[in-house]
Amino acid sequence: MRPSLAILLFFACAASLAAQRPAKKIDLGQFPAETVDNVVVPVPSEVFGVLDKLGNPNWRDELGAARTFSPTGNRAQDALLLGSVIADGFIAVEAEDSERVKEIGRNVLTLAEAINVRKSVVARSNSIIEKADARDWNGVRREFDGALHDVNKAMAELNDEQLAQLVSVGGWLRGTQTLTSIVKGKYSRDRAELLYQPLLINYFNKQLDTMNPRLKRNQLVGEIRIALGRIGPLIEKSPDRDISAETVTEINGITTQMVELIRTKAG
């Protein structure tokens, strides 16, 4: 499968990518990736770099207004929120907005504390702020990439792997919201093909379906399960049918609604 935009957060951009000429057709399968349960997950900073090669997205518009997020008291929501905020970090790096990067770094620290993994990201958060001040954007990417790895490792040690899955889902939703916004703003078949990710959708569905009953009963988790069920058929394609502009707009609407729900009463 081709990796998607958005699980968000593993390794830094390869320096060689920046030196390449824009490709007429993007093969995301050539990018570094990580395999989880036999499913290829994307290297988000690489894909953000590819989107730059397809044009000149207005990253500041995609970032939206500055917000300070507070824990909601709902650990499932806080995990989803953390993933979406880390995704914001990549967008802020693309926008080269040092103040927003620093704000997001502080938000990451606050939300990590809410799910008991603060110690795992303290050094990352401080380094994000330091590197943003120095405008070391590749360094900031590396720290955001490392943040999710550290969070997942800490959650595994706490036997909270299911919350770690929600962090990934939150990041995927925010990343896909951003991707569809960019693609629908200047639609092309090549851009739309970045959305083709059926195995990843199936993987998320499987993870949500096998969560413990308490998490499955969580209203927000239930809404996201429904949303993924709606997105799944939309990202399918065949040799004679591409993902259309109308479909991109529909996926954007679904993911926007989910990101807004995740962030409700959080900031």
Closest CA to 176 of 194, 155, 202, 162: 194
CB contact at 8 A, 263 and 66: no
Q: Which residue has the higher pLDDT, 16 or 115?
A: 115
Q: What is the pTM of this model?
A: 0.83
How many helices (H) and strands (E) are present in the chain, helices listed first?
Answer: 13, 2
pLDDT at 146: 82
For residue 98, the one-letter residue type is S
Distance CA 261, CA 108 (A): 18
Q: Which pLDDT score is estimated for 157?
A: 85
Q: List CB contacts of 239: < 8 A, sequence separation 6 or more.
A: none
Average pLDDT of the chain is 79
Nearest residue to 164 via CA among 146, 181, 152: 152
31 vs 230: which has the higher pLDDT: 230
Could you count the other beta carbons within 10 Å of the beta carbon of residue 240?
A: 5
Cβ(42)–Cβ(36) under 8 Å? no
Res. 249 pLDDT band, cuts 50 70 90: very high
**In sequence order, what DSSP letters do the residues of 73-93 get, joined into one string?**
S-HHHHHHHHHHHHHHHHHHH
The residues pairing with 40 across neighbouring beta strands, listed in sequence order, are 35
Strand partners, 41: 34
pLDDT digits (tens, 9 = 90+) for 17-74: 222 233 334 343 443 344 444 444 444 555 555 555 556 788 899 999 999 999 999 9
